[in-house]
């Protein structure tokens, strides 16, 4: 079955751990690009294939997820690179709804960082198996055993090393291949721009040539194995254990090992559960869900692309499918395979594949698409509790039409949540964001894609609840440090300056019905 040849995974980590660099290194080893676009240091960094927005190239960080599809051996890889900043967590969480496994990238010098911990908890919640890649071993860093102990102590994840570093961090000689006990030695290339040559040595030769470094690597790997660190497929699938590999993505060291492990161990696509709790068989008629909508990938056409994960059946370009949200038909005449910003027409796709549907203005994040009957609808994607709010106005009122069109576009993509109030009217929407950098992205795109410069005025609110009883709205609107705003889906959100303002109002009105906005769900 074609779905068995698919591996769909995301790369997740704290900012600056090297996600985009690893993404390119994987593509380089699969020989779908001839030279990596990453060089030492952010300041001298060229744009990597998965960083295509102008702001990403200027700031040297990923601020939007990107899809790359390519083949390696006889397997089709669907690799999703996630944003590198905590302000764009919402985008990352949507991506995690579309994958079957994840590569958790750790900085050898920093170990588990706050954003990594949050993302791992999402993987655990969703039952996504995690492979750990300890990156930047070419630089000074922490002890390998200490990093493994941290996985156990902080997140209860049993490390199961598949490779082990020969040489301390900053003095990277190669890796011990735990499976066969051999030594894989790497050779540097200029700037890490091409695949690093590898030389495989027997244990006897490695000991003769690497001496203490080799002996230490073997002793540490054996110590971890004796402590329950041998690879256990059941523990990996259950999310209680993680295969661990070591490398340096910027030099392309250890990347081939990771790619091979993904092919061998990463789970194949499985039946996805719909809103009724039924698992839809992979061989059922075509179905997919939209996890991302993006405009402006092609400056020449400024078209809109909806990224959809195929869940069942065969997708054929040109087929007319139904949008379960609206009940309306959607023609898939313009369907594409995506590789960062580069795109090519795709004729067919199978469960596990990510496809780009062009001219998708009728699609929104979370929509389910299906062909034939019976109808199917998959659970919606998370809409997170915002913590930052700002009113948005066009500087030039003659650009009001472009402003409205741009705001609708940003909302459909999930760049920001858009709220409206009776006090300000529809002409002055309120942008709501998980992190303040989302405002920068929204303003930049409104100016450069819609020709509309905007003024964003921050509001003082930082605490938000869902209003349970619409009849109680006047109680909140009458407050000095609170108001109610309405989301496009009709949800009424009660906003407060801070937790203290919320508690004061609740003391005055004990019967006030307010509900928390959960991390999962709309």
Q: How far apart are CA 424 and CA 420, in angstroms?
A: 8
How many other β-carbons are positioned within 10 Å of the β-carbon of residue 140? Answer: 12
Nearest one of 218, 216, 222 to 203, comparing CA atoms: 218
Positions at the binding site: 81-85
The answer to whether the CB of 242 falls within 8 A of the CB of 160 is yes
Give, for 56, the enclosing helix (H) or strand (E): helix 54-59
Q: How far apart are CA 78 and CA 489, in angstroms?
A: 32
Q: How far apart are CA 335 and CA 460, in angstroms?
A: 43
Q: What share of the chain is helix, strand, coil (3-state, %, to 5)?
A: 30, 30, 40
The three-state secondary structure class of 208 is helix
Q: How many residues does the chain have?
A: 522
**Measured in whole angstroms, how far is the alpha carbon of residue 311 from the centre of its chain?**
18
Positions at the binding site for GTP: 81-85
Q: How far apart are CA 68 and CA 82, in angstroms?
A: 11
E strand residue ranges, 332-462: 335-339, 342-345, 348-349, 354-358, 368-370, 388-394, 417-420, 430-433, 454-458
Angle ∠(136,140,144) on CA atoms, nearest 5? 70
Q: How far apart are CA 488 and CA 219, in angstroms?
A: 59
**Measured in whole angstroms, how far is the alpha carbon of residue 134 from the centre of its chain?**
18
Q: Which residues pair with 165 in a beta bridge?
A: 175
Angle between the N-to-C axes of helices 212-224 and 203-210, in degrees from 0 to 180, rounded to the nearest 10:
130
The three-state secondary structure class of 164 is strand
Q: How far apart are CA 42 and CA 54, in angstroms?
A: 15
* 307 Ramachandran zone, left/alpha/beta (phi>0; psi -120 to 50): beta
Q: How far apart are CA 257 and CA 161, in angstroms?
A: 12
Q: Where do we find the tokens 């910003």? A: 341
Give, for 255, the enclosing helix (H) or strand (E): helix 255-265
């Amino acid at each position: 079955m074609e779905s068995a040849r698919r591996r769909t995974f995301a790369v997740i980590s704290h900012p600056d751990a090297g996600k985009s660099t690893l993404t390119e290194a994987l593509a380089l080893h699969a020989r779908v690009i001839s030279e990596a676009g990453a060089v030492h240091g952010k300041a001298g960094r060229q744009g990597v294939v998965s960083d295509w927005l102008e702001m990403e190239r200027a700031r040297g960080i990923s601020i939007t997820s990107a899809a790359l599809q390519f083949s390696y051996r006889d397997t089709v890889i669907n690799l999703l690179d996630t944003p590198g900043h905590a302000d764009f967590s919402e985008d990352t969480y949507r991506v995690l709804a579309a994958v079957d496994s994840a590569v958790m990238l750790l900085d050898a010098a920093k170990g588990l960082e706050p954003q990594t911990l949050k993302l791992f908890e999402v993987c655990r919640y969703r039952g996504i198996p995690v492979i750990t890649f300890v990156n930047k071993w070419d630089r000074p860093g922490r002890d390998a055993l200490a990093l493994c102990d941290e996985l156990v102590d902080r997140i209860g994840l049993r490390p199961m090393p598949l490779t082990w570093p020969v040489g301390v961090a900053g003095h990277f000689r190669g890796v011990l291949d735990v499976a066969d006990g051999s030594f894989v030695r790497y050779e540097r290339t200029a700037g890490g721009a091409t695949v690093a040559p590898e030389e495989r040595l027997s244990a006897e030769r490695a000991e003769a040539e690497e001496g203490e470094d080799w002996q230490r690597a073997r002793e540490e790997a054996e110590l971890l194995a004796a402590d329950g660190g041998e690879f256990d497929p059941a523990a990996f699938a259950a999310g209680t254990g993680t295969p661990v590999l070591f490398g340096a993505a910027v030099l392309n060291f250890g990347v081939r090992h990771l790619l091979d492990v993904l092919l061998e161990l990463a789970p194949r696509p499985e039946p996805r559960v719909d809103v009724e709790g039924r698992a839809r068989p992979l061989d059922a008629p075509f179905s997919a869900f939209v996890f991302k909508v993006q405009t402006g990938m092609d400056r020449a056409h400024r078209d809109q692309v909806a990224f959809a994960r195929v869940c069942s059946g065969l997708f054929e370009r040109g087929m007319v499918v139904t949008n379960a949200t609206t009940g309306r038909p959607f023609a898939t005449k313009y369907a594409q395979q995506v590789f960062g910003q580069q795109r090519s027409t795709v004729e067919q796709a199978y469960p596990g594949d990510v496809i780009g549907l062009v001219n998708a203005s009728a699609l929104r994040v979370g929509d389910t698409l299906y062909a034939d009957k019976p109808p199917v609808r998959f659970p919606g994607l998370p809409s997170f509790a915002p913590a930052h709010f700002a009113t948005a106005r066009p500087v030039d009122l003659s650009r009001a039409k472009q402003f409205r069109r741009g705001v609708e576009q940003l909302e459909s993509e999930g760049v920001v949540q858009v709220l409206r109030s009776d006090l300000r009217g529809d002409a002055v929407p309120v942008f709501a964001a998980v992190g303040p950098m989302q405002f920068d992205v929204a303003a930049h795109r409104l100016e450069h894609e819609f020709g509309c410069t905007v003024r964003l005025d921050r509001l003082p609110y930082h605490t938000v609840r869902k209003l349970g009883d619409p009849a109680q709205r006047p109680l909140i609107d009458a407050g000095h440090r609170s108001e109610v705003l309405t989301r496009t889906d009709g949800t009424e959100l009660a906003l407060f300056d801070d937790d203290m303002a919320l508690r004061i109002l609740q003391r005055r009105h004990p019967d006030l019905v307010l509900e928390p906005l959960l991390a999962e769900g709309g």
